[in-house]
Amino acid sequence: MPKIVFLPHEELCPEGTAVEAADGESVLDVALRNGIGIEHACEKVCACTTCHVYVREGYDSLAEINDNEDDMLDKAWGLDPDSRLSCQARVNGEDLVIEIPKYTINMVKENH
């Protein structure tokens, strides 16, 4: 079973963690299942950028980004070449290393 390493994040995962993930499961669902509260204001339908993450390792194992996700990412804070929306990035047989950005474009947290 693939693993996802979440790098330390000051608020959401201060120590960092490594968790197991099932093929086809989104990075966001894995995070939430393991108590890592990544924002997801649009309820995982690719209509916002609050679940933006950086895929530091394993990026090429993910399905190619679609036009809708690509358009949404243009609005994300701190966009870089490893950026993906965690609600759209699905585990595909390889381990991943994920960095959660310090900020989102949300002014307030949704407290899901």
Contact 13, 27 (CB under 8 A): no
Q: Per-residue pLDDT averaged across 6-28, rounded?
A: 96
CATH number of the domain encompassing residue 80 = 3.10.20.30
Residue 101 reports pLDDT greater than 80: yes
Which is more confidently placed, 107 or 47? Answer: 47
Contact 72, 46 (CB under 8 A): yes
Residue 107 reports pLDDT greater than 70: no
53: tokens are: 């993450």
Residue 110 reports pLDDT greater than 60: no
Q: pTM for the complete prediction?
A: 0.91
What domain range is 11 assigned to?
3-99
Residue 19's pLDDT band, with cuts at 50, 70 and 90, is very high
Based on the structure, what is the number of domains in the chain? Answer: 1
Residue 30 reports pLDDT greater than 60: yes
Residue 1 reports pLDDT greater than 80: yes
* Structural domain includes residue 25: yes
80: tokens are: 């870089």
* Structural domain includes residue 110: no
Short-list 86, 96, 102, 108, CA closest to 31: 86
* Structural domain includes residue 111: no
* Structural domain includes residue 69: yes
